[in-house]
Structure 1
């Protein structure tokens, strides 16, 4: 048998003991915390729970931005008469009147929100030669339709079944089962408004004789689709939680929400203390996520070393997963705070297909862009696009198109007014007044107001991906 030693125990060192014990007083960012032999005194109990509720509120905001954004999108569409059987459209393109996260001024969009709880199984007829996708109400990718979908751009009928549907499923459809009753539908027809108007949406029960499709043009409508940055953010999330199946939400976010009183089937009625804490949490979190958007610290967001141009998908994954499978929480919060909708075709486009994006709010010196100053952006010759490119200015407060006297704050290759330099470069000008002779290359800005810019490449070519072509920095004039 093995020998068992009865030698002396090494004991617990003073340093080890200190590392597992609590001092009688801690000075923290939340104030002083006092203890009696490790046990919290009454003021510390109050301060601890105030701190915990604040932290939970901040985490809920950062992790639930995608859901609040979809609730606000649906509410905004409903405000202008776009219900689940109506398609909102841009005929032919969006102006700066609607508050829609980083909408562009070049594409003919259509959108609506499904209501499977009311309408039951619902059919969408996607137009030919289109790039369409559907996200659930937590803004997770459900399906692509059109070129990136199973119909391969030939047009097709998609049948969306409510969560838990166990009835008979007819043939002749691409069948989709979203985890939420409501989903956001984005329709993009490459043939423009004429193609978009071929879209159809109707209940399966009306498939034998579909009603005439109703469209609402919202291109110049002044309405809001953007979520709140105060206490009402949490009311937006509660709306989602109460309407959708509990199993549509992952356990981690469900636990965070439950910790602040948002639980399926239970009224959300925070007392004055909790309401004040959550209002503060939303305001702090909105400041944090704005920092993530405009000054990210992860090098993966930057397209080029030493450049201010940023890519909203650092891992090129529409689910914001790292190569190791970890959720990139900052990337998810960043993206959904200033954009709407995710699809694999957006995050990881193939050469000559889909689209690629880069954005910045800084000039070449690192200073934030100022609407009272003049700047230039040089796009070197050989801009790597199969289809077209666009440079568009946005309001950093609303993350929507910058509102000026020009309702289309963009310079793009679809415009005949854009001039190219003798060497093939294209110079985009920004400022409160137009440079003489370059009006077609100018985006108006507003003195006293900041702005940021998004570069879009539709059908990006190899020189974008291998970085042999790169845009210049925004230079103060």
Structure 2
């Protein structure tokens, strides 16, 4: 039996799918529970399919498995990992063929998470904050605008009693934590988030294009606001030679228009005279953006204030 036949004899396509889901779940657990020094490494490990190749990263997965092993709802996922020899407290020494399969599963899992994480809806539910804008939020959005939500912060569907897997994946492929303050609908408390993956025409945001985002007057942020850019590939900050920290906000004192609006320009080059309101992108690199309102005021949490979309400019 040749190597290819042995592969399919031992691991059919369903097994790869199960492993991908198990790896994805383990990585989300590990990234959430790992210390801040290795969270970034874990994210890159997931992207590169090497979560099982590094001792440090493997220990993080083992810690997650060990600390959660007594919770019944985790038993199925842990059972899938046990099938390939990943059991808390036991040595993990896969042969070369198994390691290659696990690496392929990790790569598949990461690609699955990236495909889910850029959607404006998950499982048929829209995540748009405003129905006529392209900004999204996984919790506070037009589909569920008030305090009562269909899921809790552990991503459990309240009515069905199950974990909303794809909504959780949508969150943790880009962001490693969530808290009550991040979804607060109490004026002056926490922060309000709006996330954009697409421009006004529905096209993915590209580092090759130039855009304008217009903020209406009186941005409802009692503390401050900011717009920050992130790499589409791995959700790290979109650092460029022009701007190492890719954020622009009220504390930077951008120039306002005479009627109180603020035009922010995003692109590979600053438009003439707009340097104070410019965020740099990088040609050839996709990105997404998060608008944060800290200490959100009533106009933010009742959705009456809404920013413009990313509009392409020449």
Q: d(CA) in 2 for partners of 1:430 and 1:247?
A: 43
Distance 1:375 1:368, change over 3 A: same
Distance 1:348 1:339, change over 3 A: same
Gaps of 5+ in 1: 1-42, 78-99, 101-223
Structure 1 counterpart of 2:82 = 258
1:119-178 CA distance string (max 9 Å, x none)? xxxxxxxxxxxxxxxxxxxxxxxxxxxxxxxxxxxxxxxxxxxxxxxxxxxxxxxxxxxx
Q: How does 1:384-399 map to 2 (within 5 A)?
A: 384-399=220-235
Match of 1:269 among 93, 105, 128: 93
Q: CA deviation at 1:70?
A: 4.4
Higher mean C-alpha deviation, range 261-270 or range 296-305: 296-305
Match of 1:226 among 43, 52, 56: 43
Structure 1 counterpart of 2:105 = 281
Structure 2 counterpart of 1:67 = 29
More strand by share: 1
1:37-72 CA distance string (max 9 Å, x none)? xxxxxx799457332331222111332232332466
The reply on whether 1:310 has 2:136 as its aligned counterpart is: yes
Distance 1:313 1:255, change over 3 A: farther
1:263-302 CA distance string (max 9 Å, x none)? 1122222223322222221112211111111124323422
Query: Partner of 1:54: helix, strand, or coil?
Result: helix
| Aligned-residue RMSD, C-alpha | 2.6
The reply on whether 1:464 has 2:300 as its aligned counterpart is: yes
Q: d(CA) in 2 for partners of 1:231 and 1:433?
A: 34
The reply on whether 1:413 has 2:250 as its aligned counterpart is: yes
The reply on whether 1:54 has 2:16 as its aligned counterpart is: yes
Q: d(CA) in 1 for partners of 2:62 and 2:303?
A: 47
Q: d(CA) in 2 for partners of 1:392 and 1:344?
A: 21
Distance 1:398 1:426, change over 3 A: same
Structure 2 counterpart of 1:321 = 156
2:198/2:310 contact within 8 Å kept: yes
Q: d(CA) in 2 for partners of 1:264 and 1:470?
A: 48
Query: Partner of 1:338: helix, strand, or coil?
Result: coil
Structure 2 counterpart of 1:438 = 274
Distance 1:472 1:55, change over 3 A: same
TM-score by length of 1: 0.56
Q: d(CA) in 1 for partners of 2:36 and 2:97?
A: 30
Query: Partner of 1:57: helix, strand, or coil?
Result: helix
Match of 1:374 among 185, 188, 210: 210
Q: d(CA) in 2 for partners of 1:244 and 1:424?
A: 49
Q: How does 1:58-457 map to 2 (within 5 A)?
A: 58-70=20-32, 73-76=35-38, 224=41, 226-228=43-45, 229-234=47-52, 238-243=58-63, 246=66, 248-249=68-69, 250-298=74-122, 299-313=125-139, 315=149, 317-324=152-159, 325-405=161-241, 406-416=243-253, 418-457=254-293
From the CA coordinates, give the structure whose radius of gyration is larger.
Answer: 1
Q: d(CA) in 2 for partners of 1:440 and 1:419?
A: 7
Q: CA deviation at 1:434?
A: 1.1
2:42/2:51 contact within 8 Å kept: no
TM-score by length of 2: 0.82
Higher mean C-alpha deviation, range 462-471 or range 265-274: 265-274
Q: CA deviation at 1:394?
A: 1.1
Distance 1:75 1:433, change over 3 A: closer
Q: d(CA) in 2 for partners of 1:368 and 1:242?
A: 37
Q: d(CA) in 2 for partners of 1:323 and 1:422?
A: 48
1:413-440 CA distance string (max 9 Å, x none)? 1113x01111211111011111222211
Structure 1 counterpart of 2:143 = none
Query: Partner of 2:293: helix, strand, or coil?
Result: strand
Gaps of 5+ in 2: 141-148
Q: CA deviation at 1:456?
A: 0.5
Q: d(CA) in 2 for partners of 1:454 and 1:375?
A: 15
More helix by share: 2
